[in-house]
Amino acid sequence: MINKADETYLNGLKEVLEKGVLRSDRTGTGTKSIFGMQQKYDLTKGFPILTTKKVYPRGVFGELVFFLQGRTDNKWLNDHRITIWDEWAGEDELRDLGPIYGYQWRSFGADYVSQMDRDSGVFPDGGTDQILEVLKSLKNDPFSRRHIVSAWNPNQLNEMALPPCHTMFQFYVTPDKNGEPYGLSCQLYQRSMDKFLGEPFNISSYAALTHLFADYVGLKPLEFVHSVGDAHIYVNHFEQVKLQLSRIHETYPAPTLTINHPHSIEEINQMINNDDLSFFENYTPESFVLDGYQSHPAIKAPVAV
């Protein structure tokens, strides 16, 4: 039986390879690209991490924790043996990345304060903690259409090491037959997507985020919807893509995800009620455990910077 997550992902990969148009790009590498693509992943059928090539779970879960903590220093990632931001890191002591995802998630609208200064006790003035707001709205107004977090802040794009590719996500609560909140789904809008290197991380990262928030609000993780603007394959990834596509009939079963929370869910909910998200500081990449993850070997490819 073909793993559905692999099948969904590979169908999109094949579509871009076969039907994409050749375009120049910011990096000077060149791509095949399609504008406008949507793919859906059923979270009730196991955790969507690809098995047709090895995906790096520590990197996926560590980066997610990094974002949720609002951190912007590449040193934290390196200290946790994660190197995926190395090409874009600054040259100060902490190799600061500027007001990237986590800063926008936790301090949207505030002037940027570097991680070094925040570690020294200088905190942003004002700004909106979008993660706190969406968690409170999921709890207090589950059927709202405003469960949205945005990483796209035009006023600070020039301060970022890399402007956000995954720009906005939205949660949706499905009712049960009695009209009570039952399931949680997440849709991500991504303006630009490197389908071979980047997309596998994005799928698993936002699936894990959906599992995490579902735990907090007592809902069942249902679906991750991935909507993309520019879906592309770099021209120097074509051979790697063909190798992965050749594995479509040799997939492995989807693993399951367990999250070891640092506090009880009751304690976490009390902290959320008190506008306190300090519990995120106690998560690590090891807090997320995949059971039964098997895959084909990794397929290396150059990163376009």
Residue pair 246/221 in contact by the 8 Å Cβ criterion: no
Of 15, 267, 272, 301, the residue nearest 129 (C-alpha): 272
Judge whether 123 lies within some domain. no
Judge whether 168 lies within some domain. yes
Q: What pLDDT shows up at residue 1? A: 72
Q: What pLDDT shows up at residue 216? A: 97
Domain that holds residue 24: 4-56+128-291
Q: What pLDDT shows up at residue 184? A: 98
Residue pair 284/262 in contact by the 8 Å Cβ criterion: no
CATH number at 265 reads 3.30.572.10
262-267 — which CB contacts under 8 Å span 24+ positions? Answer: 262/287, 265/215, 265/216, 265/218
Residues with Cβ within 8 Å of residue 283, at least 6 apart in sequence: 65, 68, 69, 261, 262
Judge whether 69 lies within some domain. no
Judge whether 303 lies within some domain. no
168 strand-pairing partners = 150, 189
Distance (Å, rounded) from C-alpha 111 to C-alpha 124?
Answer: 7
Catalytic amino acids? 165
**Would you list the DSSP string of 148-208?**
EEE---GGGGGGSSS--SEEEEEEEEEE-TTS-EEEEEEEEEEEEEETTTTHHHHHHHHHH
Judge whether 52 lies within some domain. yes
Judge whether 72 lies within some domain. no
Judge whether 285 lies within some domain. yes
Global confidence as pTM: 0.96
pLDDT tens digits for the chain (305 residues)?
Answer: 789 999 999 999 999 999 999 999 999 999 999 999 999 999 999 999 999 999 999 999 999 999 999 999 999 999 999 999 999 997 788 899 999 999 999 999 999 999 999 999 998 889 999 999 999 999 999 999 999 999 999 999 999 999 999 999 999 999 999 999 999 999 999 999 999 999 999 999 999 999 999 999 999 999 999 999 999 999 999 999 999 999 999 999 999 999 999 999 999 999 999 999 999 999 999 999 999 999 999 999 988 88
Residues with Cβ within 8 Å of residue 95, at least 6 apart in sequence: 73, 74, 75, 78, 89
Judge whether 112 lies within some domain. no
Q: CA–CA distance from 150 to each of 10, 128, 136, 154, 158 (Å)?
A: 28, 11, 16, 11, 17
Total domains present in the chain: 1
